[in-house]
Structure 1
Amino acid sequence: MSAVFSNIEHGRTSDAVVRQIEDLILEGVLRDGDRLPGERELAQSMNVSRPVLREALKALEARGLIVSRQGGGNYVANVVGEVFSTPMRELIASHPKATADYLEYRREIEAIAAEMAARRATEADRQMIADIIQRMEMAHAAGDFDTEAEIDVEFHNAVGECAHNFILLHTLRSCYRLLSDGVFQIRARLYHLPGAREALLDQHRGIAEAICGQDPEAARKAARAHIDFIIQASAEAERADDRERVAQLRLRQRFRDRKPASPDPGNERKTDEEHS
C-alpha cells in the first residue's frame, strides 16, 4: 500500500499531504475501505513529519474522506456508497421498473466508458484487463458461480478505471455497488439460463479484446451488445419464472382434485343403521 504514496519534495505541509491523498481517492487508486499505512510508514513514504501527517489525517477525517478506528488505524471512507442513500437503495430494490432503468443507464454509460478505455488505456491498464479476463475464465471453467460473479463486477469497474475520467469512474462505481450488494438479482437469474454464462463470458472477452486492441468503435459496440443481451435474457428469465409459477399452481390444483373425498361420518352411521 505504501508504494502508491510519493515523496513530497516541496512545501511539506499538511495541505500537500491532504492534496496527495485526495488525488489518490479521486483517481480511484485508494478505494473505500482501504486501510492506510501506519503513521510512521506513511510519514516516511511521503517524506513529512508525523505531526504534519497527523494534521492532514485530521483534516481528511473532518471532510469525511477517511475514518479513524480506535486501535485499528485509518481507512478510506465509504464515499462512493453515499451516492445512493439507504432509503433510495431500498426504494430501487422494491420497484421492478428500477431494474429496467438501471440496465438502460448502464447500456449508455458503459458504451462511453468502453470507448474511452480503448482510447486511453495504458499498457498497465491493458495488463489489468487481461488478468481479470484470465481469472474470470478460470472461475468459469471451475463452475465457481460466486467468484465468477465477483470478477464480473471487478471487470466492469476496471473498464471504468481505464477510461481515466474521475466523474465517470465514481459514477460507475456507485452503479456497480448496487449490483455487488445484491440490490438487483439480475446475475443470479441469468446464470441459470441455458448458455447464458458462456455468452456472458464471450461478451466480456469481446469488450476486453476491443479495449486491449485499442479499437474504440468495437469497444463501444461490444459494451452495448453486452447490456442488450442482459436486457433480453432478463426478460426471458422473468417469463421462465412466471411459466414455472403457473405450472406449479396447476400441478397443485390437479393433485388436490385427484385426492379422494373424505367420507362423510354421518353417511357412514346411516349406512350402518340400515344394515342393522
Structure 2
Amino acid sequence: MLNKTLLPQSVAREIQTMIQTGALKAGEKIPSQREFSQKFGISRASLREALLTLETLGLLKTEAGRGTYVAAAGSRSESGHMAPWRYSDSYPAFDVFQTRILLEGEIARLSAGRLTQLQLDAMETATRTMEEAWAKQDLVSNVEADLLFHGTIVSACSNAMLKALYQTVRDQVTETQRQPIPITDPERMGQSIAEHRRIITALRANDGPAARHEMENHIRNTARCAGLTP
C-alpha cells in the first residue's frame, strides 16, 4: 500500500499505470472510492483529486448516475472531447487563459536575469521529460513536468505580488495545462516543447522582452489547442 503522505498526483500515476498495464481495462468501471482510498491508503478527498486529474487527462470518464469508467483506448485525440471545465462556477476557461497571458508573460519578463544556472538546467530537464513522457503516453508525468517548468519561472520573479497572484489562481492555471491534453496531437505537443525551449533560450540570454513574447505566444497556442482564442 502507498504511504499515506503521497500526493494525489502520485496516486494518479499509480492508477494510470494500472490502466496502461491492463489491470484496469478500457470500458471497465473503476472500484468504489471507499475501496480505492483503502487500497492506496489516502483520504477520499485526495483520491477524488487524483480521479479528477485522470478525467481531465482523458483517461477516465464519468457517466451521470452510472459511475466512473476507464476511457476507451485510443479515444482521446480521436474524440476531440475535453472534460468539463471544473471551475465554471468561478471563472470561464477563456478568462483563465487570458489572465495567464498577462500574468505569466510579465512574470517571464521579470524573471529574466534572475534564474540560476541550476534552475535553467532544471527547466531543460523538465522539457525533455515532457517529450519523453509524451512518447510513452505517461500523461501524468508530462503535465507534472510542464507544471515544474512554469513554476520555476514564477519562483524567480522579482515582483512578490505577481508571485502571490499566481499562487491565488494556481489551481485554475494548472487545469488549463491539463485540459487540452485529450485533444492534443503529436504535432502540437512537439510545437509546445519547441516553445518551451525558445522561452529557455530567451531567459538564458537575460532577454526579458523576448521571454515575455515567447511565453505569451506559448499560452495563446495552448488556448487555441483548447479551442479558445484569447
**TM-score band, normalised by the shorter chain?**
0.5 to 0.7
Report the alpha carbon displacement of residue 162 of structure 1 after superposing the two structures with TM: 1.9
Q: Which has the higher helix share?
A: 1
Match of 1:212 among 195, 204, 222: 204
Asked if 1:159 corresponds to 2:153, the answer is: yes
TM-score normalized by structure 1? 0.46
The 3-state SS of whatever aligns with 1:152 is helix
CA distance in 2, matches of 1:162, 1:107: 18
> Which 10-residue stretch deviates more, 199-208 or 98-107?
199-208
Aligned positions of 1:109-148 closer than 5 A: 109-148=103-142
CA distance in 2, matches of 1:185, 1:231: 11
The aligned residue for residue 227 of structure 2 is 235
The 3-state SS of whatever aligns with 2:227 is helix
> Given residue 209 of structure 1, which amino acid in structure 2 is its aligned partner?
T
Contact preservation (8 Å) 1:93, 1:183: no
Classify 1:151/1:127 alpha carbon distance in 2 versus 1 (closer, same or farther; 3 Å): same
The 3-state SS of whatever aligns with 1:120 is coil
The aligned residue for residue 200 of structure 1 is 192
| Identical-pair percentage | 21
Which runs of 5 or more residues in structure 1 are unaligned?
Answer: 1-32, 34-90, 237-276
The aligned residue for residue 181 of structure 2 is 188
Report the alpha carbon displacement of residue 116 of structure 1 after superposing the two structures with TM: 1.2
Q: Using CA pairs below 8 Å that are at least 6 residues apart, which structure has the higher relative contact order?
A: 2
CA distance in 2, matches of 1:97, 1:171: 15
CA distance in 1, matches of 2:105, 2:186: 26
Report the alpha carbon displacement of residue 183 of structure 1 after superposing the two structures with TM: 7.9
Contact preservation (8 Å) 2:202, 2:210: yes
TM-score normalized by structure 2? 0.54
CA distance in 1, matches of 2:162, 2:182: 28
The aligned residue for residue 98 of structure 2 is 104
CA distance in 1, matches of 2:208, 2:86: 32
The 3-state SS of whatever aligns with 2:137 is coil
> Which 10-residue stretch deviates more, 167-176 or 148-157?
167-176
Report the alpha carbon displacement of residue 119 of structure 1 after superposing the two structures with TM: 2.9
Pairwise CA RMSD: 2.9
Report the alpha carbon displacement of residue 113 of structure 1 after superposing the two structures with TM: 1.0
> Given residue 126 of structure 2, which amino acid in structure 1 is its aligned partner?
I
Classify 1:164/1:138 alpha carbon distance in 2 versus 1 (closer, same or farther; 3 Å): farther
Aligned positions of 1:53-68 closer than 5 A: none
CA distance in 2, matches of 1:100, 1:200: 19
CA distance in 2, matches of 1:102, 1:95: 13
Report the alpha carbon displacement of residue 96 of structure 1 after superposing the two structures with TM: 9.6
Which runs of 5 or more residues in structure 2 are unaligned?
Answer: 1-6, 8-84
Classify 1:178/1:96 alpha carbon distance in 2 versus 1 (closer, same or farther; 3 Å): closer
Contact preservation (8 Å) 2:127, 2:146: no
Classify 1:99/1:137 alpha carbon distance in 2 versus 1 (closer, same or farther; 3 Å): same
Classify 1:112/1:101 alpha carbon distance in 2 versus 1 (closer, same or farther; 3 Å): same
Report the alpha carbon displacement of residue 134 of structure 1 after superposing the two structures with TM: 3.0
CA distance in 1, matches of 2:181, 2:91: 18
Report the alpha carbon displacement of residue 102 of structure 1 after superposing the two structures with TM: 0.3
How many residues align? The count is 146
The 3-state SS of whatever aligns with 2:206 is coil
The 3-state SS of whatever aligns with 2:113 is helix
Asked if 1:226 corresponds to 2:222, the answer is: no
CA distance in 2, matches of 1:96, 1:189: 23
